[in-house]
Structure 1
Amino acid sequence: MRVIGLTGGIGSGKSTVAQFLGELGAAVIDLDRVGHEAIKPGTEAWQGVVNAFGKGILDVNGEIDRSRLAEVVFKDKAALRRLNHIVHPFIDNLVRARLEEYRRQNYPVVVLEAAAMLEAGRAGDVDEVWVTVAPEDAVLERLAERSGYSEEESRARIRSQLSSDERVKQADVVIDTTGTLQELKARVVVLWHQLIARSDS
């Protein structure tokens, strides 16, 4: 079983590429979703985040309001590091359990979709690092359409992450996500067949 670390900046097309890889036969672990699971109310990670950032980040149901939390951490790199330090050990445990489950099910490929994989120094945890890239104007347009972010909000989120150039330096495979969805899917299909060939050799 090969483990692919799929990463890229916000709005760079990671989730679309992950979806295509899932359709081709990979098991996909979305670390954002695993992160949601890790900070459910009452969990140890939830308590750690509330202790660090205060009850102002909670909604009326006692769940962590991710948009409120994002307002804090995306403007303050020290706060983002603190959040990652609290939550990552719990996410790691959940990911290890999923990987073991997929190994038992004989999946040929597992894709770990993780925005901050390289920032967290996790490149060594995967067999290959795949990085999605797109020009900044395309990213800004996607974020405005998808999330309703202003240009200022989008730029703040982009600045809080590694640059595309820094990611590309650590990549085994770089996927340019510009163009139509059909063109992107065709690129992903080619990469999938190359991956399976490498895995079989």
Structure 2
Amino acid sequence: MKLVGLTGGIGTGKSAAAELLVRRGLPVIDADEAARAVQAAGSEGLAELVKEFGSEILTETGDLDRQRLAALAFGDPDRLARLNAIVHPRVRAWMAERQRELADRGEPMVVQSIPLLYEARGAEGFSAVMVVYAPRAAQLQRLVEQRGMAPADAEARIAAQLPIEEKRRLTPYVIDNSGPLDRLPAEVDRVWSQVAAGLA
């Protein structure tokens, strides 16, 4: 089975690009979905997070308050490292299990959508990596206007990742999402065609 990575920066449109690949019929294993699963109410992962960060990260219904956890962890390197040490191994295990299921079905190729691909594991093991790109100013604007983040919080989230300009230099497969969202489908098609041709 060939592995293709999909990554980007927060606010660049990686999730939208992943959804477009799914619509093309490609199997996509999403690290964001994995993170939600391993931090779900009643999970071992959530219990570890509460032990580390306190019950203030829970909602009234016992679910994870992601915004509260982000406010506690991002901007503090030590806390962020502790968060990643709890979440990342569980996310990798969840994704590995999904990959085994797809391999058992005989899928020849799978896309792994991983926000921190370069930061957490690097490109080793991937036949190709696609980066969804938007300039930092666009990232900040989208986080503030579309997700309702305070500018300082948005800056902290962006700063916690490898700069998007650096990510785009690490691969020839760059999906440019710096323009309007309605241009993204054609851009995803263009880059995926390049990837598929390179792996043929």
TM-score, structure 1 length as denominator? 0.90
Equivalent residue, structure 1, for 2:198: 198
Q: Letter of the aligned partner of 1:74 in structure 2?
A: F
Compute the displacement of 1:90 (Å): 1.5
Question: Equivalents in 1 of 2:42, 2:143: separation in Å?
Answer: 32
Distance 1:73 1:172, change over 3 A: farther
Query: Residue 22 of structure 1 corresponds to which residue in structure 2?
Result: 22
Q: Match of 2:153?
A: 153
> Between Structure 1 and Structure 2, how many residues are aligned?
200
Asked if 1:139 is matched to 2:136, the reply is no
Q: Deviations over 1:129-183 (max 9, x none)?
A: 2111112222222222321123222112111211113323433422211223343
**Aligned twin of 1:70:** 70
CA 1:77/1:171 → structure 2, altered by over 3 Å: closer, same or farther?
farther
In the other structure, the counterpart of 1:175 is 175
Asked if the contact 2:127/2:199 (under 8 Å) is kept, the reply is no
Distance across 2 between alignment mates of 1:81 and 1:170: 24
What is residue 59 of structure 2 aligned with on the other side?
59
The 1:172–1:73 alpha-carbon spacing in structure 2 relative to 1, beyond 3 Å, is: farther
Q: Which amino acid in the other structure matches residue 10 of structure 1?
A: I
CA RMSD of aligned residues (A): 1.8
Q: In the TM superposition, what whole-angstrom CA distance separates every residue of 1:15-54 from its partner, at most 9, and x where no partner exists?
A: 1111111112211122111111112233222221111111
Per the alignment, in what secondary structure is the counterpart of residue 157 of structure 1?
helix
Matches within 5 A, 1:2-13: 2-13=2-13
What is the aligned-residue identity percentage?
38
Structure-2 separation of matches of 1:167 and 1:122:
11
Report the secondary structure of 1:118's partner residue.
Answer: helix
Deviation of the 1:7 alpha carbon: 1.1
Distance 1:70-1:125 versus aligned 2 partners, 3 A rule: farther
| Partner in structure 1 of residue 165 of structure 2 | 165
Contact 1:8/1:164 (8 A) holds in 2: yes
Structure 2 partner of 1:83? 83
Query: In structure 1, the residue corresponding to 2:110 is in which secondary structure?
Result: strand
Q: Is the 8 A contact 1:26 1:107 kept in 2?
A: no
Q: Classify 1:83/1:36 alpha carbon distance in 2 versus 1 (closer, same or farther; 3 Å).
A: same
Instruction: Tell me how far 1:195 sits from its aligned partner.
Output: 2.2
Contact 1:178 1:184 in 2 (8 A): no
Q: Which residue of 1 aligns with 2:103?
A: 103
> What SS class does the counterpart of residue 41 from structure 2 fall into?
coil
Find the aligned partners of 1:23 and 1:168 in 2 and give their Cα distance.
24
Query: Quick check: 1:25–1:109 contact (8 Å CA) kept in 2?
Result: no
Unaligned runs of 5+ in 2: none
Native 8 Å contact 2:7 2:14 kept in 1: yes
Deviations 1:48-107 (A, max 9, x none): 111111111111122221111000111212211111111222111111111111223333
In the other structure, the counterpart of 2:186 is 186
Distance 1:120 1:47 in 2: 23
Match of 1:33 in 2: 33
Indicate the residue corresponding to 1:127 in structure 2: 127
TM-score (norm 2): 0.90
